Amino acid sequence: MAKSRSVYLHPQQCERIHQFSRSWLWRSELPTWLLIVAVYGGWFASLAWWRELGIFPAMLLLIWFTAWYMSLQHELIHGHPTSRPWFNQLLGTLPLAVWYPYGLYRDSHLAHHHHHLLTQPVDDPESYYFTPQSWQRFAPWQRSLIHLRNTFIGRLLVAPLLDIAQTLGSALAAFRHRRVNTIAMWLVHGLLLAALFAWMNHLGFSPLYFALAISYPALALTKVRSFLEHRAADDPLARSVINEAGLVWRVLFLNLNYHSVHHDLPGVPWYGLRKIYLHNQAEYQRRNAGFVVRGYGEWLRHFFARPVAVNAHPGFNQQGKADEEHE
């Protein structure tokens, strides 16, 4: 585990987690190894036997396994199932989700875990907020598009497209400015993606259909998890949500719904997050200032067509009220 970056509730919790980490299950990382087999096996089997399954069942399975693969990539970034980053990278480099190289996701996500900079535009690569200066410069249609993105339905339909456009724009900038490491990541990604698409063609499965009808919806599923996952608040400990989601979402997102716990303890494996949360449920809810939601259905009911106020960052001299009406 990333001990130097872990934030414990108290010394007793620290000792309890270290006891967990010495157990056979945690040391063997068996759940993560089984997950890897399930994700890769399920993805390739669903594609290889899509005719036997039928296009619609195969599509649903592939959407699930592609979204699950993105959750697995997150786990690999945080040092599971091995302590060797190069080996974990090998396990997550295949572009089963199409849109971005593993290395870029790894670098931006680790930067996102700088505790005191969480949600701050520019400093936090995964922030949905904008600097006040940027917000003022936006044209009315741009603000309207962002407000649409900040609804639950907009996060599913529009946010993936905006992410893809931003990713491709960053790729073009990397080539234009000759950023060698980034260019290398994109070249490897492109070669592997070309090989996967060639295999799909061989199977009679359209790569374009895969990108639009499978990979895009899978990316949209991940936006369910990230909807109001963070808010701008003075206290860094109050910026990450605890979402008490149901079993299916917990499995798909590998318990990242307990996001406040994950940011406190980024080295804890996915199968330990729920156990740790339930051990200290009341303390975690006090610690993150009551930023708790009773499942993703609550976000759906409250914000289906109503935008959350994630636009211009309010700064850290005031509490971010993410559930207020937008300006």
Query: Where are the chain's structural domains?
Result: 3-303
Tokens, residue 5: 């970056």
Name which of 289, 294, 226, 301 is nearest 259 in CA terms: 226
Per-residue model confidence (pLDDT) at position 115: 80
pLDDT, tens only, 94-125: 999 999 999 999 999 999 998 889 999 989 99
Residues in Cβ contact with 218 at an 8 Å cutoff, skipping those fewer than 6 apart:
62, 63, 64, 66, 67, 70, 97
Range 204-211 average pLDDT: 97
Position 5 confidence tier, pLDDT thresholds 50, 70, 90: confident
Is the predicted pLDDT of residue 6 greater than 60, yes or no?
A: yes
| pLDDT of 118 | 93
Three-class DSSP labels, the chain: CCHHHCCCCCHHHHHHHHHHHCCHHHHHCHHHHHHHHHHHHHHHHHHHCHHHHCHHHHHHHHHHHHHHHHHHHHHHHCCCCCCCHHHHHHHHCCCCCCCCCHHHHHHHHHHHCCHHHCCCCCCCCCCCCECHHHHHHCCHHHHHHHHHHCCHHHHHHCHHHHHHHHHHHHHHHHHHCCCHHHHHHHHHHHHHHHHHHHHHHHHCCCHHHHHHHHHHHHHHHHHHHHCCCECCCCCHHHCECEECCCHHHHHHCCCCCCHHHHHHCCCCCHHHHHHHHHHCHHHHHHHCCCCEECCHHHHHHHHCCCCCCCCECCCCCCCCCCCCCCC
pTM recorded for the entire structure: 0.92
Mean pLDDT score, 175-180: 94
Mean pLDDT over the full length of the chain: 93
What percentage of the chain carries pLDDT values higher than 70? 95
CA distances from 184 to 178, 187, 276 (A): 10, 5, 39
Selection from 247, 259, 308 nearest residue 285 by Cα: 259
Residue 320 has pLDDT above 70, yes or no: no
Given a cut of 90, whether residue 322 has pLDDT beyond it is: no
Lowest-pLDDT range of 31-35, 121-125, 158-162, 318-322 = 318-322
